[in-house]
Amino acid sequence: MNVSGRTSSVSAYDAPYYLKREASPTLLAEIAAVADLLDPEPGDQILEVGCGGGALLSRLIAHGSCHVVGVDWLRTSVNLARRRNSRARLLQGDACALPFPDGRFDKVVAQHLIEHFDDTKRVLTEWHRVLKPKGVLVIVTPNIDYPHPEWFEDPTHRHIFSEADLRDHLNGAGFSVDETRIINPYVGSLSFQFAAARYLQFLRRLPWFGHRGMSLVASASRI
C-alpha cells in the first residue's frame, strides 16, 4: 500500500466532512443494510475498519452488549470517533496490518474502505486473519454501474467494484459470499437520489434501477 502517496489527498476527511455525510439518507440506508447483514448479537466482538467519524460505531453501540472496536488510518478520524463514542475502543492503524491476534473478532465491517487499496487481496487476507472461523465480514463500497461515478470521485480511490468483481475477490481470499445487495437505486437524476434513498429503496429489486444503484453491500463468512 502506498502510504506516503495518500497523505495529501485525504486531508479533506475532517469533522465537517463526516457530519455532513452522516446527514445523507444514502449513508443512513447503508448503515441500515449493514446492521441488517451484521446482525449484532450480545457478546459479539465487532471490528470496524476505517471507522471515519464513528457514525456506524454509535449505531452499533446502541444495540448494547456487544464489544466494538474501531480502527482508522487518520488521527483526526480516530479523535473524532473517540469523542463521539466514549464506549468504543478506538485505534489508529493500518487496515493491512491490524494490531490484533488471529481470530479475535466475530464480525468485521468496512464501510467505503476497500476501494482505497491497490492490493485488494492483501487487505482481504488481513481481515480474514482477524476473523474467527465462520466470522462475518460486511463490506460497503461504491457500485461501478452507478451512472454518475463523479458523485463518489475521490483521488484516493483505487478500485471501483462490480458485484461480480467483489464476489470474485471475496471468494479468492477465503470467504464464502452469503449475500450481495445493491442499495440506493438510481432514479434517473442525482437530485432525486436522496429522496429515493428514503422512500424508493424497494426499486433496488427491479432490474434497471437495481443494477445502477449507488452502493454495493456484501456479506461473506470466513470459511
Cell of 85: 463514542
Of residues 161-200, those binding other proteins (CB under 8 A):
198
Pick the closer one to other proteins by CB: 66 or 144: 66
Of residues 71-110, those binding other proteins (CB under 8 A):
83-87
Pick the closer one to other proteins by CB: 95 or 217: 217
Burial of 167 (0-12, 13-18, 19+ CB in 10 A): middle
Of residues 22-41, those binding other proteins (CB under 8 A):
22-23, 25, 28, 31-32, 35-36
CA 102 from centroid of its chain's CA atoms:
21
Pick the closer one to other proteins by CB: 112 or 212: 112
One residue of 62, 97, 190, 223 binding other proteins per CB under 8 A: 62
Q: How many residues bind other proteins (CB under 8 A)?
A: 23
Question: Coil, strand or helix: which one is 14?
Answer: coil
CB of 33 to other proteins, least distance (A): 9
| Cell numbers 452522516: residue | 22
Q: 63 phi and psi, to 5 degrees?
A: -65, -25
Pick the closer one to other proteins by CB: 22 or 154: 22
Sheet holding 105-111, edge to edge: 89-92, 67-72, 45-49, 105-111, 131-142, 215-222, 175-183
CB of 59 to other proteins, least distance (A): 6
